[in-house]
């Protein structure tokens, strides 16, 4: 059995910024428990001597010359905005502080 609990799922919901109902927390707890039991087997073969692969095809030093290209226009930038004011995006009050 894995360690998935309703409290953990609720915490993950906060980290992922998804408001979860109690019913969803309960359902997800059960489902994640089963899924995690099934995928935890990766640790069976992931011994310390095996290197991790983050990129399927290894490349390095891919750069862009420092030459400006036309940016989006302000109109393009704002065209999908749920709400805009003075050329900027509007969000409701912010409680927490920046990181």
Supply 91's token pair: 């969000």
Q: Which is nearer to other proteins, 1 or 66 (CB)?
A: 66
Our finding on whether 78 is near other proteins (CB under 8 A) is yes
Site for other proteins in 31-60 (CB under 8 A): 31-32, 34-36, 38-47, 50-60
Q: Which is nearer to other proteins, 1 or 18 (CB)?
A: 18
Host H or E run for residue 73:
none
Our finding on whether 1 is near other proteins (CB under 8 A) is no
Q: At what angle do helices 6-15 and 22-39 cross, to 10 degrees?
A: 100
Integer Cα distance of 55 and 9 in angstroms: 29
Our finding on whether 23 is near other proteins (CB under 8 A) is no
Our finding on whether 99 is near other proteins (CB under 8 A) is yes
Q: Which is nearer to other proteins, 1 or 94 (CB)?
A: 94
Our finding on whether 18 is near other proteins (CB under 8 A) is yes
DSSP string, 9-59: HHHHHHHTT----HHHHHHHHHHHHHHHHHHTTHHHH--TTSPP-SSSS--
């Amino acid at each position: 059995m894995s360690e998935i609990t309703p409290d953990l799922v609720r915490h993950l919901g906060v980290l992922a910024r998804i408001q979860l109902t109690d019913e969803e927390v309960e359902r997800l707890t059960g489902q994640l428990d089963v899924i995690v039991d099934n995928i935890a087997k990766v640790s069976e073969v992931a011994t310390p001597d095996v290197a991790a692969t983050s990129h399927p095809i290894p490349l390095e030093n891919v750069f862009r010359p420092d030459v400006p290209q036309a940016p989006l226009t302000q109109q393009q930038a704002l065209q999908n905005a749920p709400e805009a004011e003075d050329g900027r995006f509007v969000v409701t009050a912010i409680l927490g502080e920046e990181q």
